[in-house]
Amino acid sequence: MILKTCSCCGQEKPFTEYYKHHNACKMCHRASVRDYHDRNREKINEERRANKHIERRRKRKQRERKLLLRTNIESVQRQIRAMSGDNHNRLLEAARRFENRKLERSPWFKPDWFLKAQGKAA
Q: What is the DSSP string of 52-96?
A: HHHHHHHHHHHHHHHHHHHHSHHHHHHHHHHHHHHHHHHHHHHHH
Average pLDDT, the chain: 81
| pLDDT for the residue 52 | 92
In the predicted structure, residue 23 carries a pLDDT above the cut 90: yes
CA angle 71, 75, 81 (to 5 degrees): 135
CA angle 4, 6, 9 (to 5 degrees): 145
Q: CA 50, 53, 56, 58 torsion: positive or negative?
A: negative
In the predicted structure, residue 57 carries a pLDDT above the cut 70: yes
| pLDDT for the residue 64 | 84
In this prediction the pTM is 0.46
Mean pLDDT on 13-20: 92
87-93 CB contacts, 8 Å cutoff, 24+ apart: none
Of the ranges 17-21, 27-31, 32-36, 97-101, which one carries the lowest mean pLDDT score?
Answer: 97-101
In the predicted structure, residue 37 carries a pLDDT above the cut 80: yes
Contact 64, 48 (CB under 8 A): no
